[in-house]
Amino acid sequence: MGAMNVIVVVCNSLHLGFLGAYGNAWIETPNLDRLSSEGIVFDHHFPENLTTLPTRRSWWTGRYGFADADQGWTPLRPDERILPDVFWNQGVRTAFISDVPLLREAGMGYGRGFDEVIWVRGQGYDPLIPAGDRRARDVRLDDEPGLRLPPEDDPNRELWKARWEQFLRNRAVLGTDVEENTGVARTVRTAIDWLERRGEEAEPFVLWLDLFSPHGPWDPPQPYRDQYVTVEPDEFEAGEEGDLVEEIAEGEDEEIDIEEVPVLIDVPAGAVGEVLSEAELFRLRRTYAGTVTLVDHWLGVLFQALDRLGRRDDTLLIFTSDQGEPLGEHGIVRRFRPWLYEELIHTPLIVRMPQARYGGVRHQAIVQTVDLLPTIVSALGLPPLGDDPAPIHGHDLLPLIRGEETKVRDYACLGMDVAEFAIRTHLWHLVVPLESDPDEPRSPELYRKPEDRWDQNNVIDQHPEVADHLELTLRRFVELLSREELVERPSLRDIVRFGPS
């Protein structure tokens, strides 16, 4: 197979449980469903370092950084080799198109190196429309019931007030209550325009399309906002088996009329019962589902453009997300705590080869964000990256796709804020807290996979030997990383003898 183009489409905070390709039966995602039928769906894909900025670093460097605070929510260093640096002298055109305001922040460097960078402004709390702008002079936070400020004594009240006032100014001026003006719509159209301007140029390209949605605030226009308001999905109701909605507490009204629950379009990260009620959480999930369907619709617009431009035949298309979205599965919403549960760490990865070669397959290999860069390099027909300036930890996934290999690792190691680490195998998920919070003490937790999908039943007391072996494997993996001695494809057997399951 010769060289090809590459398009990477990234979503921010996409919950795996809301995608048809990963088992959801009630949320409409027809375009991603089609992509999964034509591509290779990786069922076990995980980040290595949460959240937004650290994941881009691992995507673009191909290196683990979860054990190093300097590799977290920090600016890219000038000496770090990232994706566009790899291609700048290889005859490959690179473009970065994004509406993620967190990447645009001054001094972070997440747009550096690309031949073309296009920022689509105005998503979330992006400081696009300044206070005092006459176009937003009538905007009042009190007029938006979907934004409820924390109590007067909350130390973060002024922070959220400023964020939400910024959001409302952006919404008023951009008119995002109209679908075509939403961030995802404008960003997809920008990408299509870039592809059209390229025409039939022979120079291969890498287009990185980084979408903020479905990250909150969740303010989709109609019909998406209320599309699922009356849906009562059975698979999302019982908590005992780890589904997404806990059982109604005893004594509460079991029949919650979701249509009567006010829409919250944004909430501070926090605990259910504090930042929102259980009923509001149920409604929020349905608003989030509508946002996912909105994203899917505009991905369909992009895919149609690729068909029209003939790019589906000569382009490797990768779809993924940087993280999931906690929506009450463990009593919190958003990334309130560095808790490495399934709803946050299990992310989609769908790879469509040119002409849909090898498509329609679900792959069981454990893969991670660090694998994206070496896969793109291989797809473009370039030799593997060397150790200058630093070794690549990820693996080329094309041999898996072609059926030449069956796995690239035995487990996934990951972390968040150097506050919590985790190790994930096909059979187990071990969470290891590193910091002790007296107000919310935590100890290691072990979950059995795949039956306990959403990490509801901690079995560490029943399987202490498994937890011990996994924790030792994780800590030795971190030690090898710190010494830059990570061996090629380390296995559980290579690092520590794995105990009985």
| Whether residue 438 has pLDDT greater than 90 | no
- Mind listing the pLDDT tens digit for each residue in 388-424? 888 999 999 999 999 999 999 999 999 999 999 999 9
**Encoding tokens for residue 302?**
């992009």
pTM of the full predicted structure? 0.94
Mean pLDDT confidence for 222-251: 61
Confidence check: pLDDT of 191 > 90 = yes
Q: What is the pLDDT of residue 220?
A: 97
pLDDT beyond 90 at 491: no
Distance of CA 284 to the CA centre of its chain: 19
Q: For a pLDDT cut of 90, what percent of the chain falls above it? A: 83
pLDDT at 138: 92
Burial class from Cβ neighbours inside 10 Å (0-12, 13-18, 19+) for residue 155 reads: exposed
Helices (H) and strands (E) in the chain, counts: 12, 15
Q: How would residue 242 be classed by pLDDT, with cut points 50, 70 and 90?
A: very low
Mean pLDDT of the chain: 91
Residue 240: is its pLDDT beyond 50?
no
Confidence of residue 497 (pLDDT cuts 50, 70, 90): very low
pLDDT confidence of residue 499: 38
Q: Are 316 and 4 in contact (CB under 8 A)?
A: yes
Lowest mean pLDDT among 99-103, 211-215, 435-439, 474-478: 435-439
The residues that bridge with 117 in the sheet, in sequence order, are 96
pLDDT, average across residues 168-181:
97
Q: Given the structure tokens 């958003």, which residue do they identify?
A: 334
pLDDT of residue 238: 35
Which of the four pLDDT bands, split at 50, 70 and 90, describes residue 246? very low
For the chain, percent of residues with pLDDT exceeding 70 = 91
Residue 374 — pLDDT band, cuts 50, 70, 90? very high
Closest to 182 in 3D by CA, of 228, 227, 213, 144: 213
- Mean pLDDT along residues 426-452: 92
Confidence at residue 498, expressed as pLDDT on a 0 to 100 scale = 40
pLDDT the model gives residue 490: 58
At residue 351 the predicted structure's pLDDT band, cuts being 50, 70 and 90, is very high
Return d(Cα 103, Cα 453) in angstroms, integer.
31
d(CA 1, CA 358): 13
The residue ranking higher by pLDDT, 457 or 4, is: 457
**Mean pLDDT for the stretch of residues 11-40:** 96
Please give the pLDDT value at position 500.
36
- DSSP labels, 305-328: HHHHTTTTSSEEEEEEES----BS
Mean pLDDT, range 16-25, rounded to an integer = 94
Residue 243, pLDDT above cutoff 50: no
Instruction: Give the mean model confidence (pLDDT) for residues 43-65.
Output: 97
Cβ count near 142 (within 10 Å): 7
Q: Are residues 447 and 428 in contact, defined by beta-carbon separation less than 8 angstroms?
A: yes
- Residue 92: pLDDT over 90: yes
Dist CA 139 CA 141 (whole Å): 7
Write down the pLDDT at residue 485.
73
Q: Is the four-CA dihedral 408, 412, 417, 421 of positive or negative sign?
A: negative
Checking if the pLDDT of 20 tops 70, the result is yes
Summarize pLDDT for 284-301 with one digit per residue, the tens: 999 999 999 999 999 999
Mean pLDDT of the region 465-491: 86
The residue ranges of every structural domain in the chain are: 5-495
For helices 30-38 and 278-308, angle between their N-to-C axes, nearest 10 degrees: 60
Residues 48/413, Cβ–Cβ less than 8 Å? yes
Non-local CB neighbours of 305 within 8 Å, separated by 6+ positions: 192, 195, 196
Q: Which class is domain 5-495?
A: alpha beta
Do 97 and 120 meet the contact criterion of CB atoms below 8 Å apart?
yes
pLDDT of 359 strictly over 50: yes
Question: According to the model, what pLDDT value does residue 298 have?
Answer: 98
Is residue 237 pLDDT above 80, yes or no? no
Helix axes 278-308, 183-198, angle to 10 degrees: 10
pLDDT at residue number 204: 94
Each residue of 313-338: pLDDT tens digit?
Answer: 999 999 999 999 999 999 999 999 99
